[in-house]
Amino acid sequence: MIQSKKEIIRLLEEIAIYMELKGENPFKIAAFRKAAQSLETDQRSLAEMGDITTLSGIGKTTGQIIQIFLETGESPELEALKKEVPAGLVPLLKVPGLGGKKLARLYQELGVIDRETLLEAGASGKIETLKGFGKKSSEKIIEGVKALGERPERYPIYEVLKAAQKVETYLEQIPEIKQFQQAGSLRRLSETVKDMDYVISTEQPEKVRVALEAFPFQSEVIGAGDTKVSLELALDISIAVDFRLVEPASFATTLHHFTGSKEHNIRMRQLAKERKEKISEYGVESESTERKTFTSEEAFFAHFDLPFIPPELRIDGTEIDRIKTTSPLLQQTDIRGDLHMHTTWSDGAYSIREMIEACIAKQYDYMVITDHGKFLRVANGLDEKRLRNQQEEIRKISADYPEIDVYSGVEMDILTDARLDFEADFLQELDFVIASIHSGFSQTKAEIMARLQAACESPYVRLIAHPTGRIIVNRSPYNVDVPELIQLAKNTNTALELNANPQRLDLDRAHLMLAAEAGVKIAINTDAHDTKHLDFMDLGVRAARKAWLSPPQILNTMTKEAFRQFILNK
Ligand code: DGT
Ligand code: CA
Ligand code: ZN
């Protein structure tokens, strides 16, 4: 079990926060913060640091906690703290002006344990009577809580994926659960999700219900019966989750039903009706036969003479017809390499060697190291000299790993005046050049398009990364005319990225379909800044399938040899 540096830092910070809420000794709390800070400022990756428990800035207790976390991936100290502090307190830390110290006092002195009790304390005028709070700050806190409390209608998928991991870790250790599966918009990889859905197969729903009611990170049980348990979770986001409990025989049809989409379900039901059958969450019925159940969704679709329709394609019902004539869709195993990733040379958390070994673990045939270029100073971007050194280093290290071809590239900025960050002569020395925009987001369409055109027209730029710059829900795309970019890419034989980071998924579905139709190659890349981020490839593949993409349209499905030729053939 290997934990990343960032995870250790987060662990230490989380421990500090919970200790603060609990009202622990400030010196103890400070020790955790100090340790987190000294890890953060250290440039080396975890492995390069060796035994981090001996670093100055990391005390004996902290060292032991880190040691256990490194060995087991768990922290009994943090878990114990979490049990002592009400789960409803943690989301309140997001209220402006309400740090751990102040919140701890509200908890200890006024019995505040969640949003409701905090609002009550405010309404009754108790907050302003506390020493150091006053009327002004009490009003500000209440305002903040109210703003926070109006929870958004829908959450971006990456927030929900994080919450889902916590949920699933918990489900995995309930012995009476035979099988569980995500459903709803989460399983369909929608960009935003209103609430989470799970289907659970069990022969002992009563026991599972009790276990679910004891889920640790929740603010309330919304409802609980033997077929459905609904909780309001208090994780980084406060989101509802519905668990459907079903007997094993009906698992496949219930899963299909609660995966949706609603439009997909309606179309499936029409299809059944035409055959004088009826689909319910429990199976397929007809007048002449008993209710039929299925061992898998594949078998369910096969019953209607359909191939398996991947959940991410269950959108508006038209997929049910289109799936019959489509070429084989992209699978995880079609991906032969990752062409966009960062190392400790710029703002990545892992060394070249660590990234190589992580890509080997993914059984890739090739990979490209693409740290940031010099323009991105905040990311410790590399100038010509450092890039040359890095290339030498990559060549040297990769000699130890004959099983994978490691290419040296760069993620080069397209400057605001449409110049590129490096001269053509220099770019020629690199194996693979990615160009992208990280500045001038408010420029006009003409300015943005001039920049993208300059990048596409450079003979050395092979790929435009995260072409629209959007962050799902949180940042709109810059002023890019995607159809025009697709034409530019086509004319210059430049590939466009499907950035698989769940905050981005950029290009999106509609644009991927346009690009594919135009015959522009798509590269699905993780843009990993951490070995764990390489796992985003799975999301990237699903996002590509959502756009009906098949292997020949994807740059990084090329064989090792074909990709080598592609690199050589500048
Ligand atoms: P969300 O939660 O808004 O992000 O999107 P979903 O698709 O997860 O919607 P949700 O949670 O209301 O329901 C989960 C699935 O259950 C939905 O995709 C299809 C199925 N479902 C729910 N209500 C209905 C309904 O009234 N008719 C049909 N045919 N299916 C439904
Ligand atoms: Ca849902
Ligand atoms: Zn980038």
What totals of helices (H) and strands (E) does the chain contain, helices first? 23, 16
Burial bucket for residue 119 (CB in 10 Å: 0-12, 13-18, 19+): middle
Dist CA 206 CA 112 (whole Å): 33
- How high is the pLDDT of residue 316? 97
Which of 258, 267, 270 has the most ligand 1 atoms within 8 A of CB, as the residue to mutate? 258
User: Count of alpha carbons within 13 Å of 281, Cβ hemisphere only?
Assistant: 16
**Beta bridge partner(s), residue 413:** 436
Q: Has residue 151 got a pLDDT over 80?
A: no
- How high is the pLDDT of residue 150? 64
Nearest residue to 341 via CA among 410, 392, 395: 410
Ligand 1, closest atom to CA 154?
A: 4
- How high is the pLDDT of residue 153? 78
Q: Where are the domains of the chain?
A: 5-149, 155-246, 252-322, 332-568
Quote the mean pLDDT of the chain: 93
- Give every CB contact of residue 185 below 8 A, 6+ residues apart in sequence: 192, 193, 194, 197, 260, 261
Q: Has residue 125 got a pLDDT over 80?
A: yes
Domain 332-568 fold is TIM Barrel (3.20.20)
Predicted confidence band of residue 149 (pLDDT cuts 50, 70, 90)? low
Q: Whose CA is nearest to atom 26 of ligand 1?
A: 262
C-alpha distances out from residue 569 to 33, 408, 432, 524, Å:
51, 15, 11, 21
Q: How many angstroms is it from 299 CA to the middle of ligand 1?
A: 22
- How high is the pLDDT of residue 192? 96
- How high is the pLDDT of residue 163? 95
- Give every CB contact of residue 53 below 8 A, 6+ residues apart in sequence: 62, 63, 64, 66, 67
Share of the chain above pLDDT 70, in %: 99
Which of 185, 227, 237, 268 has the most ligand 1 atoms within 8 A of CB, as the residue to mutate? 185
Q: Are 507 and 480 in contact (CB under 8 A)?
A: no
Ligand 1, closest atom to CA 264?
A: 29
pTM of the model: 0.80
CATH class of the region 252-322: alpha beta
pLDDT digits (tens, 9 = 90+) for 162-190: 999 999 999 999 999 999 999 999 999 99
Q: How many angstroms is it from 96 CA to the middle of ligand 2?
A: 30
Predicted confidence band of residue 377 (pLDDT cuts 50, 70, 90)? confident
- How high is the pLDDT of residue 1? 41
Q: Which residue has the tokens 């993780």?
A: 526
Q: Has residue 314 got a pLDDT over 90?
A: yes
What kind of architecture, by CATH, is found in domain 155-246? 2-Layer Sandwich (3.30)
Q: Has residue 570 got a pLDDT over 90?
A: no
CATH superfamily, domain at 5-149: DNA polymerase beta, N-terminal domain-like (1.10.150.110)
Q: Whose CA is nearest to atom 3 of ligand 1?
A: 194
Q: Has residue 44 got a pLDDT over 90?
A: no
List the single range of 69-83, 190-204, 362-376 with lowest mean pLDDT: 69-83
Which has more confidence, 516 or 58?
Answer: 516
List the single range of 75-89, 297-311, 454-468, 522-536 with lowest mean pLDDT: 75-89
Predicted confidence band of residue 32 (pLDDT cuts 50, 70, 90)? very high
Ligand 1, closest atom to CA 261?
A: 18
Across the beta sheet with 228-234, what order do the strands follow? Answer: 177-183, 196-202, 238-246, 228-234, 218-224
Q: Has residue 276 got a pLDDT over 80?
A: yes
Q: Are 413 and 438 in contact (CB under 8 A)?
A: yes
Q: Does the beta carbon of 311 sit less than 6 angstroms from any atom of ligand 1?
A: no
Q: Does the beta carbon of 407 sit less than 6 angstroms from any atom of ligand 1?
A: no
Q: Does the beta carbon of 266 sit less than 6 angstroms from any atom of ligand 1?
A: yes
Rg (CA), the chain: 26
Burial 2-18 (b: 16+ CB within 10 A, else e): ebbbebbbebbbbbbbb
Q: Does the beta carbon of 185 sit less than 6 angstroms from any atom of ligand 1?
A: yes
Predicted confidence band of residue 87 (pLDDT cuts 50, 70, 90)? confident
Q: Whose CA is nearest to atom 18 of ligand 1?
A: 260
